[in-house]
Structure 1
Amino acid sequence: MRPAQAYPTGLDVDLDVFSGPFDLLVTLVLREEIDLWEVSVARLIGDYVVHLADAGDFDLDTTSQFLVHVATLLEMKSRLLLSLPGDDDVAEVEAEEAGEELLAALVRYTQFRRAAEALAGLWTRHAGRIARQAGLPACYSCPPSPGRRMPPAALAEAM
């Protein structure tokens, strides 16, 4: 398994306002060094689809990260679109909130990714068998006696 990465790697975008790695574009948009209005999300998605076709290897983790970033950019763009003229303070606060939400999503993703890697390591180490660490629940601790017979009608009713 590959280690968790903060951003999708290997994708270079070529837009009118920016040319370079996708992770740098997201960082610059969050820092407001690139105007979000000038970023074509449709073109980003098109470039990513071409990147996937060229790579030939579909990585679910990288693709899900890309989708998180694109969704965040779309949310930020929609908030800007729906903000009223003169609400510059609200737009700035919402942009900061979107950045914080993106960071929180990245932290959650990293936590789950590490947990998945730990479980995969356990699975590999124990040859596909992971023993239960706790004892049996009380309802299973006393099996029924083998001498007790149930009539077929009771068995059919239990099913």
Structure 2
Amino acid sequence: MELVFRLPQFEGPLDLLLHLAKKRKINVRQIPISQLADEFIEYVERMKKLDLQIASDFFVMASQLMELKSKYLLPSLSDRERQQLKKLEEDIYRRIELYEQVKQLANRLEKDITSFLSRRKVRVTPVPYVQQEKLTKILKALLEEMNIRNSALKLKRLPITVDQVMNEIVTELTNGSELEVYEILKKSSSKYELIVRFLAILELIHFRKVELVSRDGTLLVRGYEAFEPQSNG
């Protein structure tokens, strides 16, 4: 009988670090970086032995963790070197905490979407009704494509809001044009933004600011002439 070994799948190095921290059921800052480094590298090595495709981000993080650990093992460190190490250590802890917050928010938003769609039927033209599966299929496809990785979270910029996306969409539709739902969502730079954009489309449909049109298997949005973009002032 052939033995098949499976490893958990992680969206990126921060997802793996969060998993390693949470399995101890203690605050991540109570776990020495050296322990996280050892377990992280052990997991990457297991992936290599199983000939699994490994994203470059995992190797970058492994290198950073090993460098940090090796410097702590030096017999003596100057005050400046110790401060630099503490800063690097703090950066890793903070990135793990930030990733956890974003992941929790994304999960809550996904539940909101499911609840929203279960309560409403979306009117479209010329198709009488679009089933929930057609909209969620687009969202899930993009979620599967998107990997949330350390700095790729792009959280340095201010988080985008549903209202901002609603105005953005309507502004693009003022000349009577149509936009593909897929293309609107594809602009997202993070899982959080993807879900915000999805909710914005649903809100515009619910308040009859835009309508959905199904053409040749493609889901489009087009605006109602009576609606004008809101001012940000």
How would you bin the TM-score normalised by the shorter chain? 0.3 to 0.5
Larger Rg over CA atoms: 1
Provide TM-score, normalisation by structure 2.
Answer: 0.32
Higher strand share: 2
